[in-house]
Structure 1
């Protein structure tokens, strides 16, 4: 079904506005196909095949606009700024950040409301978004453990030390005292974050390990009574219905007796994937370093000898920029609007700092 048939028009209008829009679509589809091919070069196996299939699908969309334009295609135009930026990132990095941006790009497709795009093209773009979401989820899972510690560490360092520094500075104490308080807050917070993250991740891994099937239990399976088939109880305990558990256990035991060995995958199940949890030491080191780097920013003006209101303003501006960056990064990786997440991060950080600053002013006035 062609675009005009979908909209009920007898033939596509060829006004300047339509031609300009179609040429832009054509350029964007070419650029998006190139992005997927660029990403595929950095992948292997199934992920590579999926990305190449997405590039082929974008090629079909490209052909649609090329056919619609015909001799009016004219000179190739540049893709829009968003798609060009995506292409640059794909060439330079090829990371989960690019996939997260591509996910958002697919979700913003204009084909749903464009009468000259086919219904199949609009459906393709929606499904492409889900495909890219799945690919991006793999990358998010691989980095979520240490990345979570890094982002939370940096954000906590920024907010807590800014609040501490502003609160102390508002009381009217000397610059040296403010600087010392900030350094103490940096060290205390970084050590606390690192230790807490280590304990948290280790505890989570230990809980997962407690649920992992015991490898020694598989050795006794050949001696089980096939008629009683208590292996079915294992599968029922892991969530299968009674009927399905009995059938599955019977198949496992039959295959085991036929080969006189346990299946390679393990009839009692496989160990949980710990990639999303990370390791305790990696999470602790990441949390310590990022908290310290975040907590360093609010005290930089005081370290360089600035005093009073000027130091407070510079400290707040530096922290505000860092909060916007961390918020935008989290937004990109989560597939959410980066600007919205950045502003939310900024509002939370400045809100906490404002409270301590007001308390510092009140306390300083009361002491005076």
Structure 2
């Protein structure tokens, strides 16, 4: 790193940048402390450790500034917004935003920041990604159904209403069509999601290890060692499977095998059981990620109905013709931008790009059906 002491000509520029970096580090540390205050256990400890790391970065800028710290500045707008959300929500949504904030660190190109600070920021992004992933996994089943339901409701009912309206149908016909599309689509989405999630969970259950095999370990023929076949069937090479099976049987003979899948009576957790505790844990995580059929069905029904109601609102309030089309399109466009941006934030992607993509897809589908409605209406006329 070059000498951080600024020259007379550049001192003012350096001081401004150092003061802003100091303010940003203080704001980021506050975000992690606020998030930690809403959590317990391991997640709380991790977030507090991140706050302490930001404190080390703060100390670096304080050392550079010396007596020129000056009046405390405010963190940048994004960090302050993140802090406001953390104090009030502390959800996976905030963690996803924090992940994006860490990814925007400029320390790798800032000659006044140390290499250790730049490395910290890259590691922090991965730590926050891991914390956010836990939340994403817990909500992914219901969230997927909610997002798909809302978008399908918005796009399909807008397209249906615009197509029927463009054909020259009466106001009452368009309104009835919209309400029928809402109800039919919501029920169809709910039923489809229920069947889909139930089927996925049943497939997971069929593929997951069970406890039944653990009770047989103590009675296995040591010479035949058929336990090795279990591990070979799960993808181990023959030699590795045989060695792993011998270890399980050795522990069973010593009385240290408890049948709980960890193969280690002292809690060491070698994953030695036939049922494989780690495999069962993975199955539990997979089930949490998929969610339940009832949750997915309810989320899908509610969000499809909510989305499908939006393009119907202008007709419910008596608007007709192009005025109703324009208002319905604007309302749906705003909703598509919100859902697209939300998905972008939670997935760690660029929210603006996701929002615009969602808008383009929705408007594209609606435009096609509107043009078809005009064509059919003209031919019928």
Query: Equivalent residue for 2:6?
Result: 12
Residue 39 of structure 1, CA deviation: 1.1
Q: Is the 8 A contact 2:145 2:299 kept in 1?
A: yes
1:327 aligns with 2:340: yes
Query: 4+ residue stretches of structure 1 with deviation over 4 A?
Result: none
Task: Find the aligned partners of 1:361 and 1:161 in 2 and give their Cα distance.
Answer: 17
Deviations 1:84-139 (A, max 9, x none): 00001110010001110000000001112111111111111111111111111111
Task: Find the aligned partners of 1:66 and 1:263 in 2 and give their Cα distance.
Answer: 56
Q: Is the 8 A contact 1:12 1:116 kept in 2?
A: no
1:252 aligns with one of 239, 248, 251: 248
Deviations 1:18-49 (A, max 9, x none): 11111111011011011111111222222112
Q: How does 1:281-360 map to 2 (within 5 A)?
A: 281-360=294-373
Task: Find the aligned partners of 2:253 and 2:187 in 1 and give their Cα distance.
Answer: 55
Query: Equivalent residue for 1:91?
Result: 87
1:209 aligns with 2:216: no
Task: Find the aligned partners of 1:52 and 1:41 in 2 and give their Cα distance.
Answer: 9
1:269 aligns with 2:276: yes
Q: Is the 8 A contact 2:4 2:112 kept in 1?
A: no
Query: Equivalent residue for 1:111?
Result: 107
Task: Find the aligned partners of 1:235 and 1:112 in 2 and give their Cα distance.
Answer: 45
Deviations 1:132-183 (A, max 9, x none): 1111111100000000000000000000000000001111111100000001
Task: Find the aligned partners of 2:110 and 2:215 in 1 and give their Cα distance.
Answer: 62
Judge which range, 319-328 or 268-277, deviates more: 268-277
Specify whether residues 260 and 85 from structure 1 end up closer, same or farther in structure 2 by C-alpha distance, changes over 3 A only. Answer: closer
Deviations 1:195-230 (A, max 9, x none): 000000000000000011232222221110112211
How many residues align? The count is: 362
Q: Is the 8 A contact 2:175 2:316 kept in 1?
A: yes
Q: Is the 8 A contact 2:215 2:259 kept in 1?
A: no
The 3-state SS of whatever aligns with 2:59 is: helix
RMSD: 1.3
Deviations 1:253-301 (A, max 9, x none): 2222322753323612243021000000110011011000000000000
Task: Find the aligned partners of 2:123 and 2:213 in 1 and give their Cα distance.
Answer: 43
Residue 9 of structure 1, CA deviation: 3.7
Judge which range, 99-108 or 41-50, deviates more: 41-50
Q: How does 1:21-32 map to 2 (within 5 A)?
A: 21-32=17-28
Task: Find the aligned partners of 2:241 and 2:6 in 1 and give their Cα distance.
Answer: 59
Task: Find the aligned partners of 1:282 and 1:257 in 2 and give their Cα distance.
Answer: 45
The 3-state SS of whatever aligns with 1:215 is: coil
Specify whether residues 331 and 10 from structure 1 end up closer, same or farther in structure 2 by C-alpha distance, changes over 3 A only. Answer: closer
2:293 aligns with one of 264, 280, 297: 280
Task: Find the aligned partners of 2:172 and 2:346 in 1 and give their Cα distance.
Answer: 40
Q: Is the 8 A contact 2:27 2:75 kept in 1?
A: yes
Residue 243 of structure 1, CA deviation: 2.4
Q: Is the 8 A contact 1:27 1:78 kept in 2?
A: yes
Gaps of 5+ in 2: 263-272
Gaps of 5+ in 1: 1-5
- TM-score scaled to structure 1, two decimals? 0.96
1:137 aligns with 2:133: yes
Q: How does 1:33-112 map to 2 (within 5 A)?
A: 33-112=29-108
